[in-house]
Amino acid sequence: MGCRIVLLGMPGAGKGTQADLLAQALGVPHVASGDLFREHLEKGTELGRLARSYIDRGDLVPDEVTIGMVAERLSRPDCASGFILDGFPRTVPQAEALDRLLRERGVALDAVAYIRVREEVALARLAGRWTCRQCGAVFHTLFNPPRQAGVCDICGGELYQRSDETEEAHRRRLKVYQEQTSPLIDYYRRAGLLVEIDGEQSIEDVQADLRAAVEVACGR
Ligand code: ADP
Ligand code: ADP
Ligand code: ZN
């Protein structure tokens, strides 16, 4: 049986960290819209060039571009039996597009896990985030340090700070989240899919709560 999960929460809530662990446990892919954009940036594609100015400002990339990119990823065979979506949807039109796309395939989301943290916690997490250039894994200088500074524990890749990790971009991203993404909490609550997770616990404890919720939702 498939397991189709969306992780919702403000930038810095821990979605990427939790999605990696959950995807591994369930054996389904972790699909992160931010990672897809960063692959386009690295490769210098047309989509990457279009997205860069939005990303560096901390604004959302326009819906039609984002929806097309994610829809293509979800149509690949590895997503047939499920996925963990992280960072998408971020607007109501994106959520509606996702609903349509899944309905056309005769499937549906099993749950939307809302990882709840206060804004000051998110800002502290974003301020110390380091990302692996090779595999996209994230670390934190204080809360989740790599074994060797500057080196990814998982793949040995180089850790870097994203070009959109400035205090100004962080504040902008949190504002954009409040305005454009937080309405999805109600959207999915009304759909009966929302599960709230206390994101201010340790990485392990958040994962345990998430795993329990997903087991109920996906029936395993
Ligand atoms: P998001 O994908 O929601 O933006 P990330 O998973 O990238 O969030 O996490 C943001 C930062 O916070 C990273 O540096 C990560 O290592 C750290 N982090 C994630 N979860 C926790 C946690 N439960 N406690 C402390 N730090 C965390
Ligand atoms: P974070 O982990 O800090 O939440 P992401 O890696 O998810 O950030 O996203 C980085 C940037 O990529 C966003 O600030 C935005 O510009 C763009 N982006 C990612 N996902 C979406 C989306 N679903 N819709 C529009 N823009 C997006
Ligand atoms: Zn790595």
Over the stretch 66-116, which tens digit does the pLDDT of each residue have? Answer: 999 999 999 999 999 999 999 999 999 999 999 999 999 999 999 999 999
Q: Which ligand is nearest to the CA of 85?
A: 2
139: Cβ below 6 Å to ligand 1?
yes
Residue type, 76: R
pTM of the model: 0.96
Give the number of the atom of ligand 2 that is nearest the alpha carbon of residue 90: 23
- The stretches of 33-166 forming alpha helices (DSSP H) are 33-43, 46-57, 63-74, 92-104, 119-127
pLDDT of residue 220: 64
Look over the chain and give the mean of its residue pLDDT values, rounded to a whole number.
96
Q: Residues 4, 73, 90, 125: which is the catalytic one?
A: 90
12: Cβ below 6 Å to ligand 1?
yes
Mean pLDDT for 12-23 is 97
Q: Which residue minimizes the CA distance to atom 26 of ligand 1?
A: 143
Active site residue 162: yes
Q: What CATH code would you report for 3-118+185-217?
A: 3.40.50.300
Q: Taking phi first (over 0 means left), then psi (-120 to 50 degrees means alpha), and beta for anything else, what does residue 119 get?
A: alpha
Domain spans in the chain, listed from the N-terminal domain onward:
3-118+185-217
Spatial CB neighbours of 132, under 8 Å, sequence gap ≥ 6: 138, 139, 152, 154, 155, 157, 158, 159
Spatial distance between the Cα atoms of 125 and 122, rounded to a whole number of angstroms = 5
State the distance from the centre of ligand 3 to the C-alpha of 194, rounded, in angstroms: 31
Mean pLDDT for 191-201 is 98
Place 126 in a pLDDT band, splitting at 50, 70 and 90: very high
In this predicted model, which residue has the larger pLDDT, 16 or 220? 16
pLDDT of residue 219: 86
203: Cβ below 6 Å to ligand 1?
yes
Spatial CB neighbours of 116, under 8 Å, sequence gap ≥ 6: 9, 13, 196, 197, 198, 199, 200
Over the stretch 148-177, which tens digit does the pLDDT of each residue have? Answer: 999 999 999 999 999 888 999 999 999 999
pLDDT of residue 1: 58
Position of tokens 């998982």? 154
State the distance from the centre of ligand 1 to the C-alpha of 124, rounded, in angstroms: 9
pLDDT of residue 2: 81
Tokens of 150: 């500057």
Q: Which ligand is nearest to the CA of 151?
A: 3
